[in-house]
Amino acid sequence: MPKIFLSPSTQEWNQYATEGNEELYMNRLADRIEPYLRSCGISFVRNDPVRNVAGAIQDSNAGSYDVHLALHSNAASESLAGKLRGVDIYFAPKSADSEKLANIIANNLKSIYPLPDKVRAVPTSSLGEVLRTKAVAVLCELGYHDNFADEAWLKNNLENIARNIVRSLCDYFGIPFVNAGAIRWGTVTTDGSNLNIRSYPSLSGTVIGKIPDGAQVMINGETNGWYVVNYNGVIGYSSSEFITL
């Protein structure tokens, strides 16, 4: 199952047009992203907020991740302060996977950003979080926080943006999007045999783990007769027919 490094901005000095700052609101967005990642079976590690960008890159590269997702909001130069709007999703120009993910995120965000023609995937030649990570990386600049309209859109749509971004990750990974809900617990009830954990909610999905009959298992989501489960750190899909809540 997919694993991502979630890296919200640590730039507390980037003040918003009215109140708050980039670090505060990107971490609030990351807080809302986490439940959707769990419900969709995407495991994650979050950056250390006391470390800078170099630290985030180092921590990401020290692990094994499928995607490095950096969350930021933008600001114009002093001469254009407050005058620009738009969402830019930056990708590594030499990585087809990075470009693919950036385009998926940009295309999906067009459905919730008020100026869809100003949402774009953009190659970068300078952003370290995109170019210096081992994992496929994108950096999301989610509006201009020095623009009153963009600031309002961002603050008023944190939940929608979180849901939209995780839906894009699911599209990229080829797994179903599952709406976030309360974590539940269940007991495996088979005929004594083990219950398979699969990489996809289908009998054709690869078996990636097993749960003994009678064992308790964490349930993070549900899709078409399958639970998104976490058993001893193994995350995947198990048939809901054999789990009693």
**What pLDDT digit, counting tens, does each position of 25-75 carry?**
999 999 999 999 999 999 999 999 999 999 999 999 999 999 999 999 999
The rounded distance, in Å, linking the Cα atoms of 188 and 214 is: 5
What is the topology classification, in CATH, of domain 184-244? SH3 type barrels. (2.30.30)
| pLDDT tens string 152-195 | 999 999 999 999 999 999 999 999 999 998 999 999 999 999 99
| Domains 3-173 and 184-244 are alike in CATH topology | no
Q: Are 156 and 211 in contact (CB under 8 A)?
A: no
**pLDDT value, residue 83:** 95
Q: Domain segments of the chain: what residues? A: 3-173, 184-244
Is the torsion defined by CA of 212, 213, 214, 219 positive or negative?
Answer: positive
Separation between Cα atoms, residue 29 and residue 160, nearest integer Å: 10
Model pTM score: 0.95
- In this structure, the number of other CB atoms found within 10 A of the CB of residue 207 comes to 12
**Would you identify the CATH topology of the domain 3-173?**
Aminopeptidase (3.40.630)
- The predicted structure's pLDDT at residue 16: 97
pLDDT at 17: 96
Report the chain's mean pLDDT, rounded to a whole number.
Answer: 97
Q: Hey, is 148 helix, strand or coil?
A: helix
The pLDDT of residue 33: 98
Average pLDDT on 75-83 reads: 93
pLDDT at 152: 98
- Residue among 163, 170, 136 at smallest CA distance from 40: 170
pLDDT tens figures, 121-146? 999 999 999 999 999 999 999 999 99
In the predicted model, what is the mean pLDDT of residues 97-123?
A: 98
Cα–Cα distances in angstroms (integers) from residue 35 to residues 40, 165, 183, 243, in the given order? 9, 12, 9, 22
Confidence of residue 229 (pLDDT cuts 50, 70, 90): very high
Q: What pLDDT is recorded for position 91? A: 98
Write the DSSP string, 37-93.
HHHTT-EEEE--TTS-HHHHHHHHHHS--SEEEEEEEE---GGGTTT---EEEEE-T
Instruction: Report the pLDDT averaged over residues 89-110.
Output: 98
The percentage of residues in the chain with a pLDDT greater than 70, rounded to a whole number, is: 100
